[in-house]
Structure 1
């Protein structure tokens, strides 16, 4: 009973006078041959109004000495008899079986927790025999008695209304009363709110083995062997080496170094002289960003762990900046990794521009002056790029245009420097093209061919095909600013502009140039599913099906059932393995955990594998890595079925 007293605070005194005893232990033959122990009790009270004038309780604990005699004869801690004794003492103290309900208590435990590993009151043995109550038993006894005995300051019927809260080895959220509560959260990363009153939190180790971080004036994070706990409105912290008030606990743990990122272009320039900065840091910490000794700004990490700020105005030049995090106690983190960028907030000088265009021609020639080294862009009213060049060392530029379609043009000439600062010419170049060399299709599926000379062939809708009589080897197909160009190496075909055209047919080969459409989707799906370039007939078949309206999702669903795909990814692989192999065979890199978790969660929630394959196939990363292969089109064999 000394053990029971240690976890309840109840004082037990042994007596030889049965009439004066409250707890009776009986060694007897229990008639039910399957029962090793029993507990019965009764209580009697005299109550007047709200006053209890007298109270008498008696409990009887029976241990069988016949069928279970050998077991119950050994009451050494850790024996089966001792565990049976603890079970019956639990009943005496007010604990019930976890699977039973009553009019007073309808709560039960789920099957996974209805075992002796969680509570000795269970009939399902897992492990053991046990020499002490299991975690749920201790939590219940703490709640009932508060570890300070009968009529104490804690527990049911306490003199103050305060309670003793006990957690588990997992993640718990404990909320106190308005009185002086005690919390023992146990292991795991727990959240405790003491509420009003002077509340105490109990930890298993010495205060010197814990780290403390002040989150705000009322909340502190405590990290140690018990886990990482977030405590609010806790006044007393009880450790093995004593009790400490909040003011006596020093936060000496520096926050982790924050991350730092700044958007910049391919040349390393930010978009203006007040760059936008962002990153991740410890919640509530103050982030400061420095360039050398100069502070560029400060921000507070939000509740999700993110921070953003806009820098002070910076002169043109090159910079390397770092960020630090300072917590509420003044602890400063190590610096982030340095981040380099450049500032150029001055736009280039305005370019000059002129053009020449003969009557009936379709190739205007543009020229002008500009700031040396800047890029010159010719932009139409839809902001489509009609041409691009670089201003030479003499400050001059020129663009000999490929054939352009018939129509009216208003062209803006822009000069852009390495920092993406843009200045436009004062006046637009306005002209019209009306050339007999040009052809225009319909809104449907058109088949066109050029004439001798340089043509602009425009498709207005559908899947359009341009036919050339020569062999593929006599032509160069290249991506252009407004579509594609086809240049004959010899003969009369010349240089043609293909605008809004999807396919090209030569005498001996076919080429798909709808890289942003059906053709590109089919090519990328083949590459993703099989980790190889598509066979010409196969990609031609699926392009034909998609031209007829079959969705990319439907094609991807078919691909994941093919033998080549299942050989590569596994016919019955786990979702985790499937996603890992997609990273390997599609993106050709190790997985990033956050991205992989996203895809695995989707699969676990019922997203089809074909949809995930499609997602990888059409990802920006996969599109980018195939640009070099497909940007000038790719060959295929048309499906004629």
Structure 2
């Protein structure tokens, strides 16, 4: 039966007909080995006909098993008259084999070329097994994924794009791949798109490899696609001595050596673990929660969305996280570390943690400390530490005085370095305040709608000066406690210092012009001035205008250079 297209090119480019009456239906088929040419065969079919040898017959059984492993197709061998009938003939130099597609209840014939020596060698990775898998694919309903045929004929599309019309993706393709040019190994299983198409026709075989399986690869492993219906399964690349790539995500490729792309994972398959090779591995976890074991080389491991366990080799392994450090909560030590963010990951023996905004040498960190969902007060100790605050307003208390520390920004994190070396260097992410023993503090919440940043900019806007640390500490505390920002602006407006800076009895125009000059250091643009004057005429308060210009993107950009490394202030204790 011929089916309509599905809209999925990787299926439609392969599916032509089926033994089943509707997609996804299991079938039972018989097969037999012809001893004489078929009576209804064409001139080409009967030309130089020979029965298959015992060795060839066994290779056919092996190839049939690769198809029944992935789809609900039961094959039964009969003496003669099977649904699929196999033999050999003389095809000259035209092809290595050909087969007919299913057509109702008629038997389909498959012939391999008996003058082609490839069809007598069936060592895994050689051409012989691939020929049988390809031709049996035709007998089960698959066509070529491109506009080609060994005899020069063609079948209507759709076809695969050139990037995927190769043997990495389908045994039905005539085209070798870049990986084949390096590895020189043909496929020993149906490939990624073949499995997808065959499972569309007959349903997936959900009884195949349901236990805990280890797939063990070596440097020159043949091209193959893994179908596994369940259990807890491992990709073991420990037999590979060159640099390898291991991708545990379904529908992706791994390489037992650079550029090979010789191992793929079928769609809807979950592989739960990986073991690295000894030559350095790049490993990509999936979202199922994987166990990844590093090898002797330098490994780079991309963690997934699940709860991963990553066991480094104790060398120079790196774990890469998808987000900025502030997305994660870290706890433990460099030797044994828990990272919460993309699931809960357990790490040991890892040297470097690579985040979207910074990297951390985990081997040099004595302690990782995380806050919770609320406001946290964390305490620094000796050595190099990493603090991740999480949500809420988070403080880190340091035992030393401010003058003994250098506090600097590094990307989106802050570094607090004890100049004496005793306290080490602390990395702060998602931490809003760093408090020293003498009451000095540094605020890192400098952005829009952050207490410290708002208070600092409002000081600069209202008084045209750097804030005094005691006063700044008072107003930061007020804003932290819920005092409204525009109420703070109003307090600044009625202060004697504001009157001294701006003057008194100002008209609205004078007020707006002076704000522009003192805050933005320029004459007002016509549009901006008109906007604020209109707002004032409609009853808007001057405190709102002051606060709006203070928090304008232009002023924030103008001030940010002064507060990049945090804002110093005195903690208000009243």
The TM-score range, normalised by the shorter chain, is: 0.3 to 0.5
**TM-score in terms of structure 1 length:** 0.35
User: Comparing both structures, which one devotes a greater share of its residues to strand?
Assistant: 1
**TM-score in terms of structure 2 length:** 0.38
User: Comparing both structures, which one devotes a greater share of its residues to helix?
Assistant: 2
Q: Of the two structures, which has the highest relative contact order with CA contacts closer than 8 Å and spacing of 6 or more?
A: 2
